[in-house]
Amino acid sequence: MSVPLARLIRQMLLMVLLVLGCSVIPCNAALAQADPLPSWNDGAAKEAIVGFVARVTKQGTADFVPPAERIATFDNDGTLWTEQPFYFQLAFALDRVKAMAPDHPDWKTRQPFKALLEKDTSALAASGEKGLLQIMAATHAGMTTDAFASAVRDWLATARHPRFNRPYDSLVYQPMLELLAYLRANGFKTFVVSGGGIEFMRPWMERVYGVPPEQVVGSSGVVKFQIGAGGKPDLMKEAKIEFIDDGPGKPVGINRFIGRRPIFAFGNSDGDLQMLQWTVAGAGARFAGIVHHTDGIREYAYDRQSRIGKLDKALDAAAAGGWTVVDMKQDWKTVFPPLATSGAAMEAKP
Amino acid sequence: MSVPLARLIRQMLLMVLLVLGCSVIPCNAALAQADPLPSWNDGAAKEAIVGFVARVTKQGTADFVPPAERIATFDNDGTLWTEQPFYFQLAFALDRVKAMAPDHPDWKTRQPFKALLEKDTSALAASGEKGLLQIMAATHAGMTTDAFASAVRDWLATARHPRFNRPYDSLVYQPMLELLAYLRANGFKTFVVSGGGIEFMRPWMERVYGVPPEQVVGSSGVVKFQIGAGGKPDLMKEAKIEFIDDGPGKPVGINRFIGRRPIFAFGNSDGDLQMLQWTVAGAGARFAGIVHHTDGIREYAYDRQSRIGKLDKALDAAAAGGWTVVDMKQDWKTVFPPLATSGAAMEAKP
């Protein structure tokens, strides 16, 4: 009991300081006016978000949801960070093939690696899904989970996006960072539920989104426990797919990892349709949101005809179900955070 | 920003009341003496726990661990609740066969159901693992996840343990409930990592242990998303095993669901060996604990020769590695909570 008391006293001191501070400047007024979503333009999308949060957090009303049940799930590619001109995880895999090539002399003559190293796009395309799986197996397996996490961190620290010439983890959406923080400030627990690889996402999402590893749900490969060199236990990544957290896999992944139905979900493509359907089918107040990529100048413009991130059925479902569609061009004041404050400056708030 | 401020002010008022209260009675002294683990006898086990928590929570020391990394994992059967005379989930399955029998007239003549309904233990034993899997398939599949959760809750509300004549979820270990709460009060995030079925555990662990569904890791069957009757999305449980969270599966499950290595882990059988090995193999201060069932009077006494919950290799590893072995008879003042306060009275503290 003495430890909680010490914490209580520390917190109390802090709060007294805060309130004293408020008596000097007109704090209440300032705070009442402060906008928790400053990068969002006023409009239907922002109103829907703020209105929903107000409804479910107001005690004693029919829509009130206890904090433990305030589960919010977010797709990642195209919802929290950019997914063009190709999924960033694929860029990682391709860069990794180049980096690993000196240790694999056979790749010079072996497809699909030869095509990749020679930038022979038609031969690469010809290798199809089988080729892609071979590339993923070569770059995502045969090492420990710790070694893979290091490889992801090293790549993020050095690789640059071909169009924006910025680190990939700085191409996150500032309005969505604000939304994550706003939900957490209102007692929500924020989860990422992505088709991307779970081991690819966890090494950086706590730093960038404030979402800790245990709140990241994704696709996964088989991992095996082994007693390695010197009697040290290891977890080895194998070249075998275990779970695809996409489409109908998303509600399954949510059930498996979270075990509770979200009351709030955000996606941007048809791969998010079932997650959004599953979310709104629950009893009580529910929120379903879609990021619509309409801004070819500041980001990319795509939906129904897109090669990746196709938005067709989900857009129809949104119209039918009254879901919130965020028009990136209209609804967002800024798209990316200023470079200096992205990445390391986003402190983790689990 | 106005919502957090309102919360700050509410909390501050509460704390002022607390501190005012303290000025009337000699609170500091009382709290300094208060024991966070009152059901634990003084001894090596309790000292090891309290000493470890003090070390990793003291800022500015080499052993300090930031709160986000204070992951604690607990086995369930035999570590947090009783596992004798058989795993409680098996008791649930058997009761369920009896309850479902009227809707399955063929079970009267079909093994292993016939044996079960006739309490023909030798025929039941003869059906072996295949029979057990048939029983599990019949009782744990072919329904939605929501319907299954209701079945678990109904069973807990009515079934009684054959020896203690108490609800199964009241046969939890009072000293371990205190340990879970003590760790959480010190910034730990507590997880259950059990060989038991994840869908069997989640409906009650938040109420009983204060562990929310998203912090429960377990074995699972395949679950499929479907658009059911009336266009309603459903998650259907299928009769197919997906993941066994036991033995070498435990570090794999921890990696998959939590994505961080625990710094503190507790088990009670050889099925926990790899979880404990994985935990202590990490850098920095680590704690591995084993509940040793030595109390045949108040609970059960078993280990090396046990039919279930075998404790052989883990006990050897504990001796070799200096892990903490809790002697139930010696170390625990009480085993089970008083009946009136168990269950509903244990409020969830995620």
Residue B85 has pLDDT above 70, yes or no: yes
The DSSP secondary structure of B258-314, one letter per residue, reads T-S--SEEEE-SGGGHHHHHHHHTSSS--EEEEEE-B-TTTS-B-STT-SSS--SHH
Three-state secondary structure readout of chain A: CHHHHHHHHHHHHHHHHHHHHHHHCCHHHHHHHCCCCCCECCCHHHHHHHHHHHHHHCCCCCCCCCHHHCEEEECCECCCECCCCCCHHHHHHHHHHHHHHHHCHHHHCCCCHHHHHCCCHHHHHHHHHHHHHHHHHHHHCCEEHHHHHHHHHHHHHHCCCCCCCCCHHHCECHHHHHHHHHHHHCCCEEEEEEEEEHHHHHHHHHHHHCCCHHHEEEEEEEEEEEECHHHCEEEEEEEEEEECCCCCHHHHHHHHHCCCCCCEEEECCHHHHHHHHHHHCCCCCCEEEEEEEECCCCCCEECCCCCCCCCCHHHHHHHHHCCEEEEHHHHECCCCCCHHHCHHHCCCCC
CA atoms B246, A350, A215, A275: torsion sign: positive
Please give the residue that has the higher pLDDT: either A48 or A7. Answer: A48
Write out pLDDT tens, residues B51-67.
Answer: 999 999 999 999 999 99
Same domain, residue pair B44 and B62: yes
Q: Closest to A274 (Cβ–Cβ): which among B9, B68, B233? A: B233
Interface A-B: count of C-beta contacts within 8 A = 137
Point out the least confidently predicted range of A26-30, A157-161, A258-262.
Answer: A26-30
CA distances to A128, A254, A314, B219 from A247, in Å? 21, 12, 11, 23
Contact B191/B209 with Cβ under 8 angstroms? no
pLDDT band, very low/low/confident/very high, at B226 (cuts 50, 70, 90): very high
CA distances to A63, A65, A233, B304, B343 from B319, in Å? 54, 48, 18, 14, 35
Q: Closest to A2 (Cβ–Cβ): which among B16, B31, B191? A: B31
Residue at which a domain ends, from A158, A184, A219:
A158
Average pLDDT score, chain B: 89
Q: Report the candidate in B138, B199, B144, B333 with the shortest Cα–Cα distance to residue A281.
A: B144
- Mind telling me how many Å the CA of B233 is from chain A's nearest CA? 6
Q: Closest to A259 (Cβ–Cβ): which among B1, B16, B216? A: B216
Distance, CA of B13 to CA of B265 (rounded, Å): 37
Q: Once rounded to an integer, what is the mean pLDDT over residues A68-87?
A: 96
Q: Once rounded to an integer, what is the mean pLDDT over residues A163-181?
A: 98
Range of the domain at B139: 88-158
Please give the residue that has the higher pLDDT: either B3 or A60. Answer: A60
Is cis: bond before A112, omega within 30 of 0?
Answer: yes
**B189, closest residue in chain A (CA to CA):** A214
Burial of B338 per CB tally in 10 Å (0-12, 13-18, 19+): exposed
Same domain, residue pair A153 and A207: no
CB contact under 8 A, A278 and B225: yes
Please give the residue that has the higher pLDDT: either A124 or A254. Answer: A254
Residue at which a domain ends, from A128, A158, A188:
A158
CB contact under 8 A, B260 and A214: yes
- Mind telling me how many Å the CA of A163 is from chain B's nearest CA? 32
Residue B332 has pLDDT above 80, yes or no: yes
Residue A309 has a pLDDT of: 83
Token pair 């233990």 in the structure block, residue: B121
Residue A14 has a pLDDT of: 42
Per this entry, what is the length of chain B? 350
Same domain, residue pair A225 and A120: no
Amino acid at A172: V
- Mind telling me how many Å the CA of A118 is from chain B's nearest CA? 36
Strand pairing of B264-267 and B287-292?
Answer: parallel
Write out pLDDT tens, residues A268-291.
Answer: 999 999 999 999 999 999 999 999
- Mind telling me how many Å the CA of A220 is from chain B's nearest CA? 8
Residue B133 has a pLDDT of: 84
- Chain B positions touching A27 (Cβ under 8 A) are 5
How does A202-227 read in b/e, with b if 16+ C-beta sit within 10 Å?
A: bbbbbbbbbbbbbbbbbbbbebebee
Q: Which pair of tokens denotes residue A139?
A: 């770059």
- Mind telling me how many Å the CA of A307 is from chain B's nearest CA? 25
CATH number of the domain residue A319 falls in:
3.40.50.1000
CB contact under 8 A, B248 and A224: yes
Write out pLDDT tens, residues A182-207.
Answer: 999 999 999 999 999 999 999 999 99
Token pair 């060199």 in the structure block, residue: A229
- Chain A positions touching B260 (Cβ under 8 A) are 212-214
CB contact under 8 A, A4 and B251: no
CA atoms B162, B167, B168, B172: torsion sign: negative
Q: Closest to A213 (Cβ–Cβ): which among B251, B260, B348? A: B260
Q: How many domains does chain A have?
A: 2
CB contact under 8 A, A259 and B202: yes
- Mind telling me how many Å the CA of B291 is from chain A's nearest CA? 23
CB contact under 8 A, B248 and A19: no
Residue A22 has a pLDDT of: 36
How remote is the C-alpha of B313 from its chain's centroid? Answer: 21
The verdict on residue B24 lying in a domain is: no
Amino acid at A299: E
Phi-psi label, residue A197: left if phi above 0, alpha if psi -120 to 50, beta otherwise: beta
What phi and psi, each to the nearest 5 degrees, are found at residue B336? -105, 150
Substitution target in A188, A214, A260 with the highest count of B β-carbons within 10 Å is A214
Token pair 């194998």 in the structure block, residue: A238
Contact A195/A141 with Cβ under 8 angstroms? no
Same domain, residue pair B77 and B93: no
Same domain, residue pair A185 and A216: yes
Query: Coil, strand or helix: which one is B63?
Result: coil
Point out the least confidently predicted range of B20-29, B174-183, B329-338.
Answer: B20-29
Amino acid at B299: E
CA atoms A140, A267, B255, A200: torsion sign: positive
Q: Which pair of tokens denotes residue B256?
A: 């998959």
- Mind telling me how many Å the CA of A257 is from chain B's nearest CA? 6
The verdict on residue B20 lying in a domain is: no
CA distances to A12, B19, B21, B34, B268 from B24, in Å? 18, 9, 5, 18, 45
Distance, CA of A295 to CA of B285 (rounded, Å): 50
Q: Once rounded to an integer, what is the mean pLDDT over residues A233-246?
A: 95
- How crowded is residue A121: how many other Cβ atoms within 10 Å of its Cβ? 10
Residue A16 has pLDDT above 90, yes or no: no
Residue B340 has a pLDDT of: 67
CB contact under 8 A, A220 and B256: yes
CA distances to B9, B125, B148 from B239, in Å? 52, 21, 13
The verdict on residue B28 lying in a domain is: no
Same domain, residue pair A150 and A219: no
Distance, CA of A343 to CA of B282 (rounded, Å): 26
- Chain A positions touching B27 (Cβ under 8 A) are 5
Distance, CA of B125 to CA of B132 (rounded, Å): 9
Average pLDDT score, chain A: 89
The verdict on residue B27 lying in a domain is: no
Query: Coil, strand or helix: which one is B10?
Result: helix
CB contact under 8 A, B348 and A1: no
Same domain, residue pair B92 and B111: yes
- Mind telling me how many Å the CA of B99 is from chain A's nearest CA? 26
Query: Coil, strand or helix: which one is B14?
Result: helix
CB contact under 8 A, A31 and B2: yes
Same domain, residue pair B267 and B327: yes
The verdict on residue B14 lying in a domain is: no
Residue B16 has a pLDDT of: 37
CB contact under 8 A, B1 and A277: no
Residue at which a domain ends, from A129, A158, A187:
A158
CA atoms B94, B95, B98, B101: torsion sign: negative
Residue B5 has pLDDT above 50, yes or no: no
CB contact under 8 A, A19 and B12: yes
The verdict on residue A225 lying in a domain is: yes
Distance, CA of B298 to CA of B150 (rounded, Å): 31
- Chain A positions touching B18 (Cβ under 8 A) are 8
CB contact under 8 A, A350 and B68: yes
Residue B12 has a pLDDT of: 44
Write out pLDDT tens, residues B279-328.
Answer: 999 999 999 999 999 999 999 999 888 878 889 999 999 999 999 999 99
Please give the residue that has the higher pLDDT: either B58 or A15. Answer: B58
Same domain, residue pair A134 and A216: no
Contact B237/B145 with Cβ under 8 angstroms? yes
Residue A149 has a pLDDT of: 97
Burial of B121 per CB tally in 10 Å (0-12, 13-18, 19+): exposed
Same domain, residue pair A222 and A276: yes
Strand pairing of B143-144 and B287-292?
Answer: unpaired
**B248, closest residue in chain A (CA to CA):** A225
Same domain, residue pair A106 and A238: no
Distance, CA of B224 to CA of B145 (rounded, Å): 10
Residue A146 has pLDDT above 80, yes or no: yes
Substitution target in A18, A227, A256, A263 with the highest count of B β-carbons within 10 Å is A256
Contact B329/B175 with Cβ under 8 angstroms? no
Contact A308/A291 with Cβ under 8 angstroms? no
Write out pLDDT tens, residues B236-284.
Answer: 999 999 999 999 999 999 999 999 999 999 999 999 999 999 999 999 9
Residue B41 has pLDDT above 80, yes or no: yes
The verdict on residue A49 lying in a domain is: yes
- How crowded is residue A67: how many other Cβ atoms within 10 Å of its Cβ? 12
- Mind telling me how many Å the CA of B242 is from chain A's nearest CA? 10
Contact A223/B205 with Cβ under 8 angstroms? no
Half-sphere exposure of A12 (CA within 13 A, CB side): 15
**B38, closest residue in chain A (CA to CA):** A1
- Chain A positions touching B258 (Cβ under 8 A) are 213-214
Write out pLDDT tens, residues A89-104.
Answer: 999 999 999 999 999 9
CB contact under 8 A, A224 and B57: no
Residue A21 has pLDDT above 80, yes or no: no
The verdict on residue A21 lying in a domain is: no
CA distances to B106, B114, B154 from B94, in Å? 17, 12, 14
Interface confidence (ipTM) of the complex: 0.86
- How crowded is residue B167: how many other Cβ atoms within 10 Å of its Cβ? 17
CB contact under 8 A, B259 and A232: no
Same domain, residue pair B125 and B153: yes
CB contact under 8 A, A3 and B225: no
Residue B348 has a pLDDT of: 35
Q: Report the candidate in A176, A193, A220, A167 with the shortest Cα–Cα distance to residue A328.
A: A176
**A201, closest residue in chain B (CA to CA):** B259
CB contact under 8 A, A34 and B214: no
